[in-house]
Structure 1
């Protein structure tokens, strides 16, 4: 299921507070963006215990219970995980990954808050969650009868929200600072093949591993950890970022003229990282209209043209990467800056020669 209307992690609690307390909710989202932890945090905010049932590990009898004889009549005894006396949050994780029979068993529990003779205590909430088929995750078609029993909310990954949370959650400083510079690397769509990819969860895993090793982790171990948790391009860039931290070699030093672009073959990953950071800085700070550009932005544009010449002398490919259009062929840097680059670069090259 896809939707053009989404909510961020910061917006979700208020939506759940008004909706989940009156109707069951299904939370859609890509793997690793924090659906489960957000539901548990919401339950905790209400003072409710969160009881999680994993759809992929359930059989129908795990919900319906098993029959027993009471006073000469049979009745189903609901499982102890569900049959509680106090209100709680019933979290049906990976609901749409469960079998059709298990999904059917959820019908009355979701709509009527009842399984057989057992009814959820007043004040309980029911929240389901699952991945989308387009995420290359395990997801089975959800019957229309079940779809129609739920309020559907689509969660998106938000770098702003995650970074705000990460700043107080003990996330490793390298991860935190890297994503502050490259928030677009927080999440990437799941690949078609079986390989690691970047999500808030995978960055958290990398942070935990770095805390375990300590800041003296070797470059080779760092490479293993990064490529074992992140998308390959993000892993390479993160490893290069750590080099800048360890050697006090950053983009600001290049902009100020205190250091040059790294030119040795063994530092090619660092060169790519600094070039991508340079591109991101230009995109962020250069105004769309030159007339409204601040003095600092004009100075950055002026310095940027000279740095492009120096970069092209090391690698024309990397220099072209800085001013390249997006995947759809649209310029991402202001037109006035690109015009000045095409006009002034030959003169700057001649001056250096």
Structure 2
């Protein structure tokens, strides 16, 4: 070995040593929000200035998930790189012309899972952003369908700091959970000293999933009934339309985030950041405040003993509670649970709020097995059920 080879080998060893570090448990709400959204398999967009550790955090997250990460610099690609390149086969008139996917998509499909990271998204021109819509929404690259276990994360620099930056198109922006990424000086100092915070992946508890989903459905139904104007609100200016704003699609994201939060027991601050990242500041903050004061009981406990609960006093909370109970019945329908659901609705009628219970009654009636007898509690809803077609006139 020559002296030059020895010098290069020593230099490479020193470079490797500077990149070696350990991790330690630490609470960082924005990292927890990222892990929550990725675990829920929702596309995430990290907004932040260059060089503040977005890529490094994602690599730790991929390692925690035990899955490979593919990095794609969106700004240096053409639309055909995501829509696929046409490849003419032996019989295009019969078989058509398939669109060949890029190598990173093939590797993810071969592995069956992974995290694909689209960097510099705000520097990609509108035509490339349009091609990415199908990747984010349908998980299709050319003629290749990405496996369901592939997670999608993107990063963007604010237009003021991005090279040739563009505002995101509203259709693309509305498909992401937007998280604003900042650095903490103390974390950086400790990291450069050799210890970075670990990224913890939420673990879903199977025993909680039914209750978690029921509570999430009830909370969102109650809130949007009280605030119907927040179901869909497209901002007026281009910059805001390129961020998070409420739509039926993003409320569906919130439903999944909330179900994962209840099931995995993630932190309240992480949930708040993720919800705001889905539906925007105004709607998100209002919904998080609503959740803090909602305090829904466990619908499974209510179904086990429907005589022991007290109906909330506010109409939106009553609807949230009843929706959660009926959703819990839907997940595991049998006669005993179905009849317990009617017992819950009967208490709502006796409390003087049959109008609130009417919607839940229609959903519950649709679950009836024809061999089950009609419960007495249904009498209070006969008229509305006949009008809806659930009962013959």
Normalising by the smaller structure, the TM-score range is: 0.3 to 0.5
TM-score by length of 1: 0.43
Larger relative contact order (CA 8 Å, sep ≥ 6): 2
Q: State TM-score, norm by structure 2.
A: 0.39
